[in-house]
Amino acid sequence: MSDVLSLPAEARDRAGKGASRAVRREGRVPAVIYGGKEPAQTIHVEEKLLVKQLSSGHFMNSVVEILLDGKKHRALPRDVQFHVITDRPIHVDFLRITKDSLVSVEVPVKFINEETSPGLKRGGVLNIVRHEVELKCPADKIPEELLCDVSAFDVGDSIHISVVKLPDGASTVIDRDFTLATIVAPSGLRSAEDAADAEGEAAA
- Domain 103-198 adopts which CATH fold? RNA Polymerase Alpha Subunit; Chain A, domain 2 (2.170.120)
Q: Which CATH number fits domain 4-98: 3.40.50.620, 2.40.240.10, 3.30.230.70, 3.60.21.10?
A: 2.40.240.10
Taking the mean position of all CA atoms in its chain, how far away is CA 113? 21
pLDDT tens per residue across all 204 residues of the chain:
556 899 999 998 766 777 888 899 999 999 999 987 889 999 999 999 999 999 988 888 888 999 999 999 999 999 999 999 999 999 999 999 887 788 888 999 999 999 999 999 999 999 999 999 999 998 878 888 999 999 999 999 999 999 999 988 999 999 999 999 999 998 755 555 554 554 555 554
- Overall pTM surpassing 0.85 (yes/no): no
